[in-house]
Amino acid sequence: MANRLGIVVVMVAGVAFTAPLFAHHGAASFDSANMVTLKGTVTEYVWSNPHVLVKVDVKDDSGNVARWVLEAWNPVTQSSRGWTKNTFKPGDEVSLDISPAKNKQPVGEIRGRIVINGKEFKESQ
């Protein structure tokens, strides 16, 4: 059973994602057909170009911690979705739908539902 920090990684194959059809660049490295729900603790939030980054520690049932790096788009595009420089902060417990890297590295693209400290963050449409 997952502990409070959240150690569940759920494969949600074939789920439609809400991101735009075309990514800025480099989207071919991510597996957009298999979305993953990642639960963990934010360690860093980087509001910069070319992509905003959210770094999240994810602990498994054995207590091992994987340090994930998750990218969004650039700050201007994220602003149009309602994000700000303060959307995340270190220590936030989050649940994020992502497209993981095809090569299985702990890197992904934020793609869908976002929950921060138990509250769903609704992006602007």
Partner 1 sequence: MSKRLIVSLAAVLAVGISPLLRAQDEKWNRIPPKRAAYNGKKPSGPAPRRDLSGIWDAAQTLGVSGATEHPALLPGGRGQEGGREDETGVAKPLPYTAAGLEALKKNKPSGPGVRQVDSVLTNDPAGMCDPLGFPYMFLWELRTLNVVQTPKQVIILSPFYGNYRVIWTDGRKPPADPDPRYNGYSVGRWLDDYTFAVQTTGMLPKTWLDHAGRAHSDQLVVDETYHRVAGDTIEYTMKITDPKMYSEPWLALNAIPLHLMADDFDIPELLCSPSEFAEYNKQVAAPVLRDPSAK
**Which residues sit at the interface with partner 1, rule CB under 8 A?**
20-30, 48-51, 53, 69, 71, 74-77, 79-80, 101-103, 105, 107, 125
Cβ atoms within 10 A of the Cβ of 88, count? 24
Pick from 63, 77, 61: nearest CA to 109: 77
- Cβ proximity to partner 1, 48 vs 117, nearer residue: 48
Question: Which neighbouring-strand residues pair with 70?
Answer: 54, 108
- Cβ proximity to partner 1, 47 vs 118, nearer residue: 47
Question: Which neighbouring-strand residues pair with 96?
Answer: 38, 114
**Least CB distance from residue 18 to partner 1, whole Å?**
13
- Cβ proximity to partner 1, 22 vs 91, nearer residue: 22
